[in-house]
Structure 1
Amino acid sequence: LTWLTSIISSRILNLLQVDPKESVSNDNLNTDELRTLLKEHGDLIPGKSREMLSSILGMEELTVEDIMIPHAEIIGIDITKSIKNAQKIIASSYYSRLPVFKGSIEHIIGMLHLKDSHQFIEALENEVDVKNILLETIFISQSTTLSNQLHQFQKQDMNLGLVVDEYGEIQGLLTMEDIFNEIVGKFGAARADLEKEFIQKNDGSIIADGNSKIRDLNNYIGWDLKEDGSKTINGTIIDHLGQIPQENICIELEGYRIETLNIEDNFISKVKINKKGS
């Protein structure tokens, strides 16, 4: 993060018409001081650049758990399934690396780089052990800060890892792209996915999936639902009630009204959220 904060320091000081080379204190500006400068003089910086700088400074406060892909949404190759299934997953992959496992992600074998996919499929067809084709799996603590994890990705020359909790159980997956999206915001296909995930109604309410991240909802809509507890809407509702609710139950959370629309297999699959007063 040092080079990022250095760039930010120079950028802000230049906008304030202070020569960074002549500023003795420039090299000693810490994150809090930079955040204060950005707050007090942010109107001198274009909107999108200001958002990016704020996101970079916030990387020391966010952890891997805040932005990881949840366990239930991890896409990988299960070697117990058909070769056709493996080919389909490889062809549709958004990433250059995919986890390969046996039966479930808990039985991870390694990471497949897509440049080795032809050799990998041939090994499956010939019933040869694929482990030598795969890259080593990187495990990441869910409490690691984003700034530290970005450094580790660069140091290890990796851009993907499995996220584990304090007991070593897999909780999710994190990619370099997830960190960059946190800095610059989601765009293109990722932005289009959010538009499908959070459907805005004429009355100002939002229809969302229960497994949607509260952080994504806040960033996309501009809301301020609390993010310091459960990371998903489903988890937040269950934590508040202390149990799995029935359909069409409404709760109020600090200015927001949340209604459960669908429950599937003890999971809240669809909700409707209103911000009171909007």
Structure 2
Amino acid sequence: MNDIPLSILIGVLVLLLLLSAFFSGSETALMTLNRYRLKHLVKQKHRGATKAHQLLKRPDRLIGLILLGNNFVNILASSIATVIAIRVGGDEAIPAATAILTILVLIFAEVTPKTLAALRPEKLAFISSWVYAPLLKVFYPIVWIVNTISNVLLRIIGVNPKKAKIDSLDKDELKSIVSDTDHLLPARYQNMLLSILDLESASVEDIMTQRKEIIGIDLEDSVEDIIEQLRNSPHTRLPVYKKNIDRVIGFLHIRSVLAQINHTEFDKQSITDSLSKPFFIPASTSIHKQMQIFKTEKLRIGLVVDEYGDVQGLVTLDDLLQEIVGELVAEEPDIKMQKDGSYLVDASVTVRELNRVTHWDLPTEGPKTLNGLIIEYMETIPEPGTSIKLHGQIVEIIQRDENTVKFVRFHPEIETP
């Protein structure tokens, strides 16, 4: 190299630094590509994205090629820098040249290109994929040897590269992605998507109308009382039973008897003749599965029963749909936000509904209603005026009756200075 002009050596050194920057930046760009956007671009037949996607199918080969090139140019740059140092200042200049080259590589061939690639990965990744595709074919034997040795070492420590799962998301990760789309989706659509993702993990027991709140027709009542109930009912379908809801005999669509209730011959037999068969739902049935059952059976209402066949509650198709579209169609009369930031809550509300409205994270694995959650926590029915910290939330008991909590107030958390 003594015959090569110093200017050419410096020019080659600069070129090698640029190549090192290319290898470093393209590695970061390709590895930080959004895999789901990449797949979308591949479907759109973007040629650069298609090349990058093919390379990323075997990331071990791609990384092997990039590191092979990067290490080669860095070692060659170090050798040339040593030659330049000796020719300029003798052996004493070698430590200074090493320090200068380290700083140049760090700034211009590592930090800067990698930062740029991390911020704008697509452009560099798609361009570099056109370079790496033919290079991989040329240097495949060397890359294969390097990867084979590397894979053997990985297997020794219990890692099988061929079985590694790439681009897989679990439900919680997908929910995090949806939650981070504030700039793309309105909050109500975000809530709908998150509700859909929760359908499989929630059961009908989480959203049902509780047994004591079921409104139905008791055939033991007088005909006059039944007619009055039919005229004033806010619901179009009602369960019909004798004495208690466990003795249900069917469901009545009020529209089928409205025309008859003004006739003198209208009696209880007219009601029983208009009933549809009762439909029972195991309490553990998932919301997602129950929606499919309602669709298949062409039903809109069912009674939720426990393992002993006792009625626990009632679920309608509207309840299931509300789990998805919630805020778009449903009012929240049981959860009222006050001017001071507190919430006045009917304790019969389900924990899932409370979490959905307030964006809290109260546990849903145990009791299904707020009343049940408070009683389980206190192990008694607390008196009005009692305040507790319920899973991080400050709760004041406002009203109770003999066996349940009726109303509570959630106070905003006091910020300590």
How many residue pairs match? The answer is 258
What is residue 71 of structure 1 aligned with on the other side? 211
**Distance change in 2, residues 1:111/1:127 (3 Å):** closer
Task: Pick from 242, 245, 252 the counterpart of residue 112 of structure 1.
Answer: 252
- Taking only the aligned residue pairs, the percentage that are identical comes to 33
Higher helix share: 2
| Unaligned segments of structure 2, at least 5 residues | 1-35, 46-166
Letter in 2 for 1:151: Q
Residue 227, structure 1, aligned to residue 368, structure 2: no
Which is bigger in relative contact order (C-alpha 8 A, separation at least 6)?
1
What is residue 398 of structure 2 aligned with on the other side? 261
What is residue 53 of structure 1 aligned with on the other side? 193
Q: Distance in 1 between matches of 2:40 and 2:228?
A: 53
What is residue 239 of structure 2 aligned with on the other side? 99
Residue 144, structure 1, aligned to residue 285, structure 2: yes
What is residue 408 of structure 2 aligned with on the other side? 271
8 Å CA contact retained: 1:120, 1:133: no
Q: Distance in 1 between matches of 2:265 and 2:304?
A: 27
Letter in 1 for 2:251: M
What is residue 213 of structure 1 aligned with on the other side? 350
Residue 242, structure 1, aligned to residue 383, structure 2: no
* TM-score, normalisation: structure 1: 0.79
Q: Secondary structure at the match of 1:248?
A: coil
Structure 1 runs of 4+ off > 6 angstroms?
A: 12-15
| Unaligned segments of structure 1, at least 5 residues | 1-11, 22-28
Q: Secondary structure at the match of 1:60?
A: coil
What is the CA distance between 1:124 and its match in structure 2? 7.9
What is the CA distance between 1:62 and its match in structure 2? 0.9
What is the CA distance between 1:32 and its match in structure 2? 3.5
Residue 128, structure 1, aligned to residue 265, structure 2: no
Q: Distance in 2 between matches of 1:13 and 1:100?
A: 54
8 Å CA contact retained: 2:223, 2:268: no
Q: Distance in 1 between matches of 2:265 and 2:212?
A: 25
- Root mean square deviation of aligned Cα: 3.3
Q: Secondary structure at the match of 1:50?
A: helix
Q: Distance in 2 between matches of 1:101 and 1:84?
A: 17
What is residue 308 of structure 2 aligned with on the other side? 167
Q: Secondary structure at the match of 1:185?
A: helix
What is residue 6 of structure 1 aligned with on the other side? none
What is the CA distance between 1:183 and its match in structure 2? 0.6
Higher strand share: 1
| CA distances 1:188-209 after superposition (whole Å, capped 9, x unpaired) | 5x31xx1x32232232211222
8 Å CA contact retained: 1:35, 1:54: no
* TM-score, normalisation: structure 2: 0.55
